[in-house]
Structure 1
Amino acid sequence: MPTALITGATAGLGAAFARRLAADGFSLVLVARDEKRLVETADTLYHRYGVRADALAADLSAEEGVAAVEKRLREGVDLLVNNAGFAHTGAALDVPVEDEVTMLRVHCEAVLRLTMAALPAMRARGRGGVINVASVAAFFAHGTYSASKAWVVNFSESLAAQVPEPRVRVMALCPGFVRTEFHERAAIDTSGIPGFMWLSADRVAGAAMRDLARGLPVSVPDPRYKAIVGVSRYIPRGVVARVSALIGR
């Protein structure tokens, strides 16, 4: 039975990946900060899908948390989903620098270290996959969040091109607005976002697994957002930055 480790697994897109992979017969290692909620999630998945679901409580903004997950990954998994992440309320210039550094630890350092911890065992077996959750925001310019997600895309594309084993795949997942707790936790006002721009977390997880199987280095899992990203590539970067600043998150 294959094993998948998912960070940020108790809510939103991480929980959607957990449901999808459990339904596909994966054993799960679920990672999040809230141990109580993590254990409840693991128990629910076990009883619903009959798969093993282990809870690994870890704060990926702290050294001990990242080290604990690295240790588990070195034992070997078939799929790693680096999903943990968050956003700040307000513009970058209004956010304390220490909070921005914490974001970079979770979005960049943890993704780097966990990916590098998982890949050696995958390469030794000649199979495996890493999905690094980025965002459509990676293709625009709006503070540390979009910058960190742009790093995730670049990092994932670079590794995808460098890993020689054809059945070991690294992919950046770049969804648009997904109906999860993400925006509520960050106190971001989403009232101005049209209903047709929202995506289902379960559909995004399903599209991600299909694109990983196809060997895509970057997945933008919806035709609407594919069009937005495609158009953005032909607009001068300065214009994109100014429009991003006007529109906000």
Structure 2
Amino acid sequence: MTDAANNSTALITGATAGLGAEFAQQLGAQRHNLVLVARDTARLEAKAVRLRQDFAIDVEIISADLQTASGVAAVAARLTQPQNPVTILVNNAGYGLAKPFEQNTVQQEADQLAILVSAPMQLMHAAVEPMLARGQGMIINVASLAGFIPRGTYGASKAWIISFSKWANVNYGPRGVHVTAVCPGFVHTEFHQRMGASTAKIPGWLWLNPDRVVREGLAAAWAGKSVSVPSRRYAALARLSKFLPERLGAAAGWRRR
């Protein structure tokens, strides 16, 4: 077993691609040991090998489907494990649905709700108690700018994450456990490709790179902030969203799918 410089372990869901992979890269570079969670065992193993080689840290993998009770239970068990305790939880796993609410089956909507709300809620519940007992810990919930505007069930799910993160940070921050919702806009990842959504009409200036989103998100989390909206332009759009009529906000959200 190798020792990370700060003897800290970060567990990251959805860790093989996109923002999850970038969180693993940046936290690994900061010498945190890692627990990587995703469904694809082969991709997990390949990612773990690279991170061990690059940063000489311990990297565990958990192959789990967070849409299933057994998958969530496996990850929750690691979060409550007293040996090599998890000190940082990054709830990143998720996806979107390309079609509007009425065109999806209720099972598709329920599955999305499970991965975007139920799974992170259960993992936070598992992580908080041992973190509070130790008097320190950090939880980062990857939300979205969509959580600030009416945007179907995806936006509603992210709004839940933002609201809960704010509450949890106020309540647990004074006890040493900080909770931060990271709310990016459009990011160069596999997200839109996986959901089958076209990005052709999205202006270039709206796109962010994963390294910036994660760098600013981690800085906000270390500073104990409840919410991080990476980039000044998106921070301005988040502030503006408070004053938009609901109809305009919903229209903007739909056009930017």
Preserved CA contact (<8 Å) 1:127 1:165: no
Q: What letter matches 1:99 in structure 2?
A: Q
Aligned residue for 2:211, secondary structure, equals helix
What displacement does 1:241 show?
A: 2.1
Shifted more, 138-147 versus 2-11: the winner is: 138-147
- Percent of aligned positions that are identical: 44
What displacement does 1:166 show?
A: 4.5
Match of 1:85 in 2: 94
Q: What letter matches 1:67 in structure 2?
A: A
User: How has the CA–CA distance of structure 1 residues 73 and 237 changed in structure 2, closer, same or farther, with 3 Å as cutoff?
Assistant: same
TM-score by length of 1: 0.97
User: Which of 154, 158, 161 is 2:170 aligned to?
Assistant: 161
What displacement does 1:140 show?
A: 1.1
Match of 2:19 in 1: 13
Superposition map of 1:187-202 within 5 A: 187-202=196-211
Superposition map of 1:176-191 within 5 A: 176-191=185-200
Match of 1:34 in 2: 40
Preserved CA contact (<8 Å) 1:142 1:248: no
Match of 2:157 in 1: 148
Unaligned runs of 5+ in 2: 1-6
Match of 1:213 in 2: 222
Aligned residue for 1:25, secondary structure, equals coil
User: Which of 123, 133, 137 is 1:124 aligned to?
Assistant: 133
What displacement does 1:235 show?
A: 1.7
Preserved CA contact (<8 Å) 1:126 1:165: no
Runs of 4+ in 1 over 6 A off after TM superposition: none
Q: What letter matches 1:95 in structure 2?
A: N
RMSD: 1.1
1:156-199, Cα deviation, whole Å (9 max, x unpaired): 11111121534310111101111011111111100111111111
Structure 2 CA distance, aligned partners of 1:108 and 1:52?
29
TM-score by length of 2: 0.94
Aligned residue for 2:174, secondary structure, equals coil
Matched positions, count: 248
